[in-house]
Structure 1
Amino acid sequence: MELRHLRYLIAVADAGSLSAAASRVHVTQPSLSRQMRALERELGVGLFSTTQRSTQLSAAGRRFLPFARDLVARADAAVAAAHTLASGRLEHLTIAAPGTTLTDVIAPFLALLEEDDPMPTVWEELPVSVYAALPRGADLAIGTTPPAPHLASVALADLPVWAYVRGDDPWAGRSDVGLGELVSRDLLLLSGDFHPRRALDQALGRSGRAYESVVEVGTPEVAQALAAAGRGVAVLSDDPRFGLRPLRITAADGPVHISLYAAWQRDHHAAATLEALAERLTAFCVERYGPEVAPALSRR
């Protein structure tokens, strides 16, 4: 069954007659009649009812017409998708990232997309498995560990890990706190599945210090809520909530931070577009959080 025969059938249905349809599809009426008879023979069903005055779709033809329209629409969509792939354009964009990154970085960035940017979809992924979303269909993955060498990637930003305290806390007027001071307080920490906790653990390991009092909580929002209730100091990379005051955490080798990376498949048909979006995301991070978050690592 040829698509052009289905297109001719649709033309007859829309035009109301063979003669009008022939003019529409730029063939002669006898040629159109022959091709419609060929379609009927192939399908084994009569699609038309012919009278002395006109040729109209039969009951079977009217039942078959929606299937013809669907097949033609799918074929047209496939051709359009192939043209998009060949041109390197990206009409739809799927971004995979951990929840905090989606909330504090990706969502504000998406609010600034331009009219000709692709339509985005986001997938929330665990930090430890975010790059595994690429083989599953994500176009761009945002993670906090260096991507594997087989992926194309850009270092986006080095985002600080914050110690959050209440406005009436003795530290509230400060801009930073040393690691040694921090571990003397009751700390509200995420589990080791989250990169702010890993960054703090690693900084403590390098300094030879240990925690004194830790309460593990399941989500960043709950950690900030408990800090606002006066139950301790929340250590996170999230933006502040509940009126909490952020303090940078300083160690002997510099501020405690997490690095943010964008990664994509090297053979992605729109690799150049993804790289351009990643570079825009880097500029957005610097504008949002300040020049000090510019990545120390160059593009891989």
Structure 2
Amino acid sequence: MELRTLRYLLAVERAGSVTAASRVVHVTQPSLSRQLRQLERDLGLILFTRDEGPLRLSAAGREFLPAARRLVAQADEALATAAAIAAGRMEHIIIAAPGTTLTDVVAPFLATLREDDPMPSVRAEIPTVVYGTLEHGADLAIGTTPPPSTLTGLALANLPVFAYVSRTHRWRHRRALPIEDLVGQRLLVQDREFHPRRALDQAMARASLAYGEVYEFDTAEVAQAVAASGKGVAVVSDDPRFGLHPLVLVGGDGPVQISLWAAWRIDHHGATTIERIAGRLREFCIDRYGEQARPAAPGRPPRST
């Protein structure tokens, strides 16, 4: 059975006769009749009633017709998808990023997508494995370290790490906090899988400072929730929640920050589209967080192939 003969079957059904259908599909009437008989042999069905008068679908033909329509529609969809891929167009884009980045950066950016942009979906991944998702279906990955050399990437933004305190805390009138002030405080942080925690660890080590009481949480949101109850200082990078007051955390060499990078496969058929979306995400981050978020370098250019 060939798709071509299924299309001929549908053409005859729509046109009402083999003669009329032959003009539509640009095949001679005898040739069209032979191919329809071959289709019947392939299927083991009598699709048409061949008596006096116009050619009519048999009962078996009428029952088979919806299946033929589905097969032809699926083939047309597959061909359209192949044409879009060959042209570098993307109907969908899968974005992988850490959970906080998805909530505070990616989701607000998705609200700015245009009608002609690909339909997005997202995956939450921990930073240490996020680039690996590009080998398992993701189109664009956002991480907190430069992507490996096997990928191409773009520096997106440098985002501050905040110390969050309740609105009744004695620090509520301050805008920034030297990291040495954290010594002796009960700290509410994420574990070392997450880059804000690693950035804090590195800043403390550079300043030769040691932690006091530390509590780890699976999500930054829960750390903030506990801080809102007055049980400690949340040190995370996500946007403020629960009415908390943010203080920019400052180490000995400047603000404690995390970097966001976008990465994708250079051989992806939609690499041009992905790069364009990553560039718009970069500008979105700068608009959202200010010029201080602008990366010092524009990112690594694509690898040569």
Provide the C-alpha distance between the structure 2 equivalents of 1:192 and 1:267, rounded to a whole number of angstroms.
32
- Partner residue, 2:45: 45
Provide the C-alpha distance between the structure 1 equivalents of 2:148 and 2:38, rounded to a whole number of angstroms.
56
Provide the C-alpha distance between the structure 1 equivalents of 2:199 and 2:35, rounded to a whole number of angstroms.
71
Q: Which runs of 4+ in 1 moved over 6 A?
A: none
Tell me the CA shift for residue 196 of structure 1.
0.9
Structure 1 residue 15 corresponds to structure 2 residue 15? yes
Provide the C-alpha distance between the structure 2 equivalents of 1:183 and 1:157, rounded to a whole number of angstroms.
28
Provide the C-alpha distance between the structure 1 equivalents of 2:123 and 2:79, rounded to a whole number of angstroms.
28
- Partner residue, 2:2: 2
Q: What are the Cα deviations for residues 244-270 of structure 1, in whole angstroms up to 9, with x where unaligned?
A: 111111011111111100000010111
Q: What are the Cα deviations for residues 57-94 of structure 1, in whole angstroms up to 9, with x where unaligned?
A: 22222333233223222222222122112211111111
- Partner residue, 2:201: 201
The AA in structure 2 aligned to 1:36 is L
- Partner residue, 1:94: 94
Out of 59-68 and 275-284, give the one that drifted further: 59-68
- Partner residue, 1:140: 140
Provide the C-alpha distance between the structure 1 equivalents of 2:175 and 2:6, rounded to a whole number of angstroms.
70
Structure 1 residue 79 corresponds to structure 2 residue 79? yes
The AA in structure 2 aligned to 1:249 is L
How many residues matched? 300
Q: What is the TM-score normalised by the length of structure 1?
A: 0.95
Out of 259-268 and 24-33, give the one that drifted further: 24-33
SS at match of 2:103: helix
- CA-based RMSD of the aligned residues comes to 1.5
- Partner residue, 1:62: 62
Provide the C-alpha distance between the structure 2 equivalents of 1:206 and 1:260, rounded to a whole number of angstroms.
22
Q: What are the Cα deviations for residues 208-244 of structure 1, in whole angstroms up to 9, with x where unaligned?
A: 1110111222221211111111001101111101111
Q: What are the Cα deviations for residues 81-112 of structure 1, in whole angstroms up to 9, with x where unaligned?
A: 22112211111111111111111000100000
The AA in structure 2 aligned to 1:201 is D
Provide the C-alpha distance between the structure 1 equivalents of 2:15 and 2:170, rounded to a whole number of angstroms.
80
- Partner residue, 2:303: none
Structure 1 unaligned residues grouped into runs of 5+: none
Provide the C-alpha distance between the structure 1 equivalents of 2:144 and 2:217, rounded to a whole number of angstroms.
20
The AA in structure 2 aligned to 1:48 is F
- Partner residue, 1:171: 171
Out of 64-73 and 262-271, give the one that drifted further: 64-73
Provide the C-alpha distance between the structure 1 equivalents of 2:183 and 2:153, rounded to a whole number of angstroms.
35
Q: Percent identity?
A: 60
SS at match of 2:280: helix
- Partner residue, 2:298: 298
Tell me the CA shift for residue 54 of structure 1.
2.2
Q: What is the TM-score normalised by the length of structure 2?
A: 0.94
Structure 1 residue 108 corresponds to structure 2 residue 116? no
Tell me the CA shift for residue 28 of structure 1.
4.0
- Partner residue, 1:258: 258
Provide the C-alpha distance between the structure 1 equivalents of 2:13 and 2:137, rounded to a whole number of angstroms.
39
